[in-house]
Chain A
Amino acid sequence: MTRQQVNEENVIRVGCPAHNCGGRCLLAVHVKDDPVQGRVITRISTDDRPGDSVADPQLRACVRGRSYLRRQYHPDRLKYPMKRIGPRGEGTFQRISWDEALDTVAGEMQRVKAKYGSSALFVPYGTGGYSQLTGSQTARRLMNLFGGCLGIYNSYSWGATNIATPYIYGTLKSGNQRQDWLNAKYIIMWGWNPAEMRDGTNSDFFIKKARENGARVICIDPRMSMSAVSLADEWIPIRPGTDTAMMSAMAYVMITEGLVDTAFVETHCIGFDQSQMPAAAAGAESYSEYILGQRDGVPKSPDWAAALTAVPQETIIRIAREYATMKPGVLYQGYGMQRRAYGEQVVLAGCALASISGNVGVSGGWASGLALQPEDGPSWNLFPTGGNPVKAQIPCFLWSEAVLRGKEMGPADGVIGADKLDNNIKLIYAVASNALINQHANINRSARILRDESLVEFIVVQDNFLTSSARFADILLPACTQFEAWGVEDGWKYGEEVILMPQILEPLAESKSDFRICADLAERLGFGEAYTEGRNEREWVEWALDRYRETRFPELPDLATFEATNQGVYSRPVTHPAVAFTDFRRDPERHPLNTPSGKIELFSQRLHEKGNPEEIPAVPKYIQEWESPFGPEASRYPLQAIGHHTLHRVHSTHDNVDWLEEAFPHRLLINPIDAKYRGIADGDLVKLYNDRGTIIMPCQFTNQIMPGVVDLPQGGWWTPDEDGVDRRGAINVLTSERWTPLAFGTAQHTIMVQVERAAA
């Protein structure tokens, strides 16, 4: 391939395809017009706007955006509609026409609706696309106009923290704009790895800047992650699932050494001790009574925590003192530790620490919790799905329960909007989703459930590739990539920009955009006009820009102007980063929180009233996980497994990209101590298993993980051999479908396994 001269005429600036990657970045695609293939992208560069300041930094794409051509032009792209021949899940398909495909889908939608009712239809959680016209929202709109479908709430990413954070703060918007980190003196990155999972483009860059500004940075994580290597002054390895124990012990140190910000606690919190309990719960265990062990006889001291966490007690004491005295300080909670059994507890415990240290509502501090942007943050999706005539909603993680026993599900299973479900799920329309198989817990179980055609009678999967979920389709529809469709995106959790995604390429073969496919179905079902509202895709993007202009960005240019600049991004510099809870901090009477008491609820009356103190305590508590190194299961399965979010993939997207496999070969990461004990050499094939399934894959030694913990980076595509053993390495073969008690969220990181050397 010859080197190309950089020529402005054939460079188009465009948002990087919006997967659920943690970033929203800018690409500059270099195009040329080929006489046979039409327009092709020849190479990709990234944001090169001059300036690159902290207030308005470049949005540089990561390794996944930079290797995108290997995905865009991958030979395995789905090109034609297909229908299943052979048993479901086998993955053998036959090409059919769009007419036949859409007639079949429309027909099945009508049949199922007529036979069972709208609530038997289901669009599963899917985050493979987020650019308005690409993604599951296109199918959700279709269903809603068709009479509705069983709804979902919450997410796989933020299940526990979405539900827990409002209990203590009354809102999800407990975060500051990130430039404020530069005002911090101390930053704890607790299970947080922005250098690899991004969490907003440039989050890692901002922490680097904070460090240059003098902040001391600590990483607490079972792994020495990319963030620990590049950003931390100190890495503290911790046993997975025990973070709440360390947080409790830190609170113990602060309380017993008089390091609590008592002034703040007195005026802004309730539940710290008996002097601040809500009337209706007078006498119930308060936060400090739990920490000091005054009720349960177990002081949550550093040596108590050391035995659980494997963190030396001197370290726990020192970190507690540092966090309490080096102020203002940030305690940033990553999401992995709340994607575990009782994940709600660690969220609440972190918020409690931020509160008793007085780091709430101050510049350079951080209230913790989910931490969405205060006042105003990214909209993610503007594309309207409309109202769902079916009011019942299930927690998104419990969809397989609704397939098996929907009609028996009620509030005890997290159902909201109705007392019970009218139906089991009978039809699934999956768009930009690999959460039927690959990303949902306990793959072998999901596969068994979906193979049974008497349960789910019809499955449509709409995707770019034949993923492990797509193998279970009855009808498989080829979707466009985001270079082949119009779109627009704003930030990922953070960000002050609108990024345009004009259509660059013609759709590959017979693929269509998610919007176009759903619009064509809507046409067949008799409401095409209502679906499109008379807009084509470009006009929908224009519509989205109008919405942005009305809400977040009044100065946003119109589409024609925006496109003509070829800038790709409209950004608003952040010179005075907003800080959450400053009004509340200044005047808690005039600006109460949206909690029953109006204050920070270290003790939550609402949680107390749930009457389940073992699993949903009113104050944050360490609860031993249902699969842990401390339980009887450890005698058979002595190793904890986690699945970190690797830069190789965005969840399961990009698993088939060769440059990414070259950069990050997919391996089971194991400490040499654990490996040598099992007679395993570096690079050996290993068998990794528990009661739920077995994986055989090559291993790699690493010193950057605690002994007793193995790491199988998540998102590898499930690839069962003839014995049902996964040979690629999909961690969900090992995970459990059991959900968290309060949020009905996923606990997929709570896994115990055994590892052995495998014969070749």
Chain B
Amino acid sequence: MNHPVRQFAFHFDASACSGCKACQVACKDKHGLEVGRLWRRVYEVSGGGWQQLDGAWLSDAFAYNLSIACNHCQRPICAELCPAQAISKRDDGIVLLDSDKCMGCGYCRWGCPYGALQYDESAGQMSKCTFCADEIDAGKPPACVAACPMRVLDYGDISQFQNGSSGHGAPLPVTALTQPALHIKPHKDSHRSQKEPARVIPAKGSALKENSLVAFTLLAQAAVGAFLLFGLMAAWLTQTAGRPLALKLIQLGAWNAAPLIAAGMLVSLAHLGRPTRAFRAVTNLRSSWLSREILFASLFSVTLLLLTGMSWQNAPSWRALTWTSIAAGLSGIGLMVSMTRVYMLRTVASWNNRSTPISFSVTALMLGAAAVGTALLAGYKWLIVGLTLPDQLLLASVFRTAALVLIVLPIIQGISFRLWLAASWPGYGESGVHLQSPLPSAPIFRLRLATTIIGALLLAAALYGHTIASGQSWHPAAAVLACCLLVVGEVMGRQLFYRAYARSGV
């Protein structure tokens, strides 16, 4: 009697895999994959060494191979992450990527601990092993299984393969992460890579270079930071009866943040392989923090636009302003939370710890304070128009507050940095294999911190100096230089963040 398959799985006998790569190439041929795209990858894991003893060479070198495609996981992290809902799971367990929906953001690739997702340059989209669903539907085996000259690949319902050891030791990730439908009979030396350093060829991707995302995250965080700081100051001022000033600060906040978030969202399109499909990004609110991030970013942008519009009116409704500001503020916070969660991937140990929210928050405040400080200095003449004397004194205290923030933040920055380094590089990953740190040496870190700290202190000095002697000529120049230093420092920091990307697995 033919039971329908509930979860198709691969069985791989690592004990007899020679690393011949017939499986890898059979797959490439079937699916027409160009050089650089491997839907099935054969990894060589090796280690050990040599010692000489009385003229003889003693070797404890070990080597074995792992042939991994997509594991059509029972907890597919790619499907959870995809903002466009382009990845779905069939009733028989096969996970498929719909190329009609994929916008090429690459988020799935960040999350998959098996390297299954492969970018198709010519199509601007992600792609991956399909379990040869067309062959399966015709009752035939996947191309890789049929190809193997040593007959070490097999397939079938996962229930067939559940007795015996699962063979998922390092460098493979723990199975709980995504519950791969992959059963491995281990090689006689598989256990060694769990206890000793082992080299894996091909090495997994690490140390991301994502300039458009560096720009997007910094701009978005600057926008939120700036708006929240202005908003907090405005809120405090309304308590102390400084409404006209508060209104001006709100306007300044909106005018600052709106172009920042707009620019950020525009530059983020450059990250997509298919930017015309960007609208799909909010489709997966159910499970993808990336969808939620884009939703909050959109809400933030809209509310800021509304605020900007309202602030142009002669006598804007204070209630409307307040509520819209609160809505914008909440959207901004939602954006910060979502953006942080986007990076807290359970398969990326170097990001999935408190260092990420700390560094994102500190950056938001730092860049926000820079935006605030620069806006205050640049907009002083406009700010001062029509202000009563008490309000002018309040304005001076706003300047001093901003200066104080800019002195305190670097200290927090420095502490958070130590935390970040410690949290990102615990030395050994969760599977016991020493993480290869893609981070550069300490001098780069010191340079990054120094740049930001000097910039912050310089801007603080300009702000404070302004309260003592307004209109001094060195203030604008100092402010510009300080801003540049702050931005450069944060850009370096964000690039280092992406370079710290190190996921589990292969």
Binding site for B on A (CB under 8 A): 1, 3-6, 43-46, 48, 52, 60-63, 66-67, 69, 195-196, 201-202, 204-205, 208, 224, 226-227, 229-231, 233, 235, 237, 306-307, 309-313, 647, 658-664, 671, 673, 702-704, 706-708
Contact = CB atoms under 8 A, between A and B. Distances in A.
A237 B58 CA distance: 8
A703 B60 CA distance: 9
Interface centre among B24, B26, B32, B54 (most CB of A within 10 A): B26
A204 B20 CA distance: 11
Nearest to B28: A659
Main secondary structure of the interface of B (DSSP, over half): mixed
Contacts of A662: 35-36, 38
Interface centre among A44, A226, A230, A707 (most CB of B within 10 A): A230
B12 to A, nearest CB: 13
Contacts of B19: 226, 229-230
Given A1-B32, A5-B134, A312-B53, A229 B149 contact: no
B50 A6 contact: no
B289 to A, nearest CB: 32
Contacts of B25: 63, 66-67, 659-660, 663
A660 B150 CA distance: 19
B17 interface: yes
Contacts of B148: 60
A202 B149 CA distance: 7
B57 interface: yes
10 cross-chain pairs, A with B, having the tightest CB-CB distances, nearest first: A1-B32, A195-B18, A230-B18, A226-B18, A703-B61, A312-B56, A663-B21, A66-B25, A310-B57, A63-B22
Given A44-B29, A62-B22, A227-B18, A703 B150 contact: no
Interface string B20-58: 111011101111100110100010001111100111111
Contacts of A69: 29
Contacts of B20: 62-63, 195-196, 226, 647
Contacts of A60: 22, 146-149
B22 A703 contact: no
A205 B17 contact: no
B24 A663 contact: yes
A658 B35 contact: yes
A227 B149 CA distance: 13
A627 to B, nearest CB: 20
Nearest to B34: A658
A175 B455 CA distance: 81
B232 to A, nearest CB: 53
Contact of B35 (A306, A311, A659): A659
Given A307-B55, A702-B46, 7 more contacts: A3-B134, A48-B140, A67-B25, A229-B19, A312-B56, A647-B21, A706-B57
B50 A46 contact: no
Contacts, number: 146
A698 to B, nearest CB: 14
A229 B149 CA distance: 15
A309 B26 CA distance: 40
Contacts of B58: 312
Contact of B57 (A224, A230, A237): A237
Contact of A306 (B21, B55, B149): B55
A432 to B, nearest CB: 24
B1 interface: no
A62 B59 CA distance: 30
A44 B27 CA distance: 10
A196 B30 contact: no
A11 to B, nearest CB: 12
Contacts of B36: 662
Contacts of A660: 25
21 contacts: A3-B130, A5-B134, A6-B138, A45-B147, A61-B147, A63-B20, A63-B21, A69-B29, A205-B150, A229-B18, A229-B64, A230-B17, A306-B56, A312-B54, A647-B21, A659-B25, A662-B36, A664-B21, A703-B49, A703-B59, A703-B61
Interface in B171-192: 187-188
A311 B57 CA distance: 6
Given A205-B149, A647-B21, A703-B48, A43 B57 contact: no
Contacts of B90: none
Interface centre among A224, A233, A660 (most CB of B within 10 A): A224
Interface of B: 15-22, 24-26, 28-32, 35-36, 38, 42, 46-50, 53-59, 61, 63-65, 130, 134-135, 138, 140, 143, 146-151, 187-188
Interface centre among A4, A66, A235, A706 (most CB of B within 10 A): A66
A230 B30 CA distance: 26
Interface centre among B17, B21, B32 (most CB of A within 10 A): B21
A45 B21 contact: no
Contacts of B57: 237, 310, 706-708
A582 to B, nearest CB: 30
A237 B21 contact: no
B488 to A, nearest CB: 32
A229 B150 contact: no
A590 B432 CA distance: 67
Nearest to A231: B16
A43 B48 CA distance: 40
A224 B59 CA distance: 10
A508 to B, nearest CB: 20
Contacts of B50: 671, 673, 703, 706-707
A51 B3 CA distance: 23
Contact of A310 (B35, B47, B56): B56
A483 to B, nearest CB: 14
B324 to A, nearest CB: 50
A311 to B, nearest CB: 6
Given A196-B18, A202-B149, A230-B16, A704 B63 contact: yes
Given A310-B57, A673-B50, A66 B35 contact: no
Given A63-B21, A647-B21, A659-B28, A224 B61 contact: yes
B134 A208 contact: no
Nearest to A228: B63
A708 B59 CA distance: 13
A3 B31 contact: yes
Nearest to A664: B21
B36 to A, nearest CB: 8
Contacts of B16: 208, 230-231
A230 B143 CA distance: 21
Contacts of B150: 195, 204-205, 208, 230
Contacts of A661: 35
Contacts of A201: 149
A66 B22 contact: yes
A704 B46 contact: yes
B202 to A, nearest CB: 10
A46 B150 CA distance: 14
Given A43-B29, A703-B61, A310 B22 contact: no
A306 B56 CA distance: 6
Nearest to A1: B32
A224 B49 CA distance: 12
A61 B59 contact: no
Nearest to B22: A63
B27 to A, nearest CB: 9
A43 B30 contact: yes
A703 B134 contact: no
Nearest to A647: B20
A66 B147 contact: yes
A513 to B, nearest CB: 25
A195 B17 CA distance: 9
Nearest to A702: B46
Nearest to B44: A229
A528 to B, nearest CB: 40
Contacts of A4: 134
Nearest to B27: A66
A604 B65 CA distance: 46
Contacts of A67: 25, 28-29
Given A205-B149, A226-B18, A230-B150, A66 B32 contact: no
